[in-house]
Amino acid sequence: MTADIKAWVEERRAIIHGAREAIRPVEAIDLGLTDLPRALDALNAVLKVHSPGDVFKWADDCADPENHHLFTDVRTGDMLCEVEPVGRFCNGCVPEKDTMIDVDEYPWPCPTVQAVDSALEGTIG
């Protein structure tokens, strides 16, 4: 989903760049072609904050602890298996200071990304 939005943004950036090259600077200002890249940057900034994070399986539930990379979650101190993500959450929506979070409360795609996605719907794909 974000990959689609990012592709959409890059496509528009290329179109705007092409248009700005083709016309005189004063016309570019008239057409809003100097502001649009900033709007796209703003969209990118939102997507950078609201990015997907993987939910990993407990190391205790790991199917192959000998071969899988197990690591300690810096947030909770739990041992997790990096090889078997079991879901996704939104990095931007999780309260940073919270150490014990229920990631199910912060689903991916989050309402912010869903809103961006539906606003662009019909344009993507």
Binding site for Zn ion (CB under 5 A): 50, 62, 68, 81, 83-84, 90, 92-93, 110, 112
Q: Which CB, 43 or 93, lies closer to Zn ion?
A: 93
Q: Which residue is nearest to Zn ion (CB)?
A: 110
Rounded distance between C-alpha atoms, residue 81 and residue 71, angstroms: 6
Nearest approach in angstroms of CB 114 to Zn ion is: 9
Nearest approach in angstroms of CB 93 to Zn ion is: 4
Nearest approach in angstroms of CB 28 to Zn ion is: 34
Nearest approach in angstroms of CB 22 to Zn ion is: 37
In angstroms, the first-to-last Cα distance of the chain is 11
Residue 122 one-letter amino acid: G
Is residue 31 packed enough to be buried (19+ CB in 10 Å), middle (13-18) or exposed (0-12)? middle
Q: Which CB, 13 or 91, lies closer to Zn ion?
A: 91
Instruction: Name 3's Cβ contacts closer than 8 Å, sequence gap at least 6.
Output: none
How is residue 122 annotated by DSSP?
A: T
Q: Which CB, 40 or 94, lies closer to Zn ion?
A: 94
Q: Which CB, 37 or 109, lies closer to Zn ion?
A: 109
Asked if residue 56 lies in contact with residue 86, where contact means CB atoms within 8 angstroms, the answer is yes
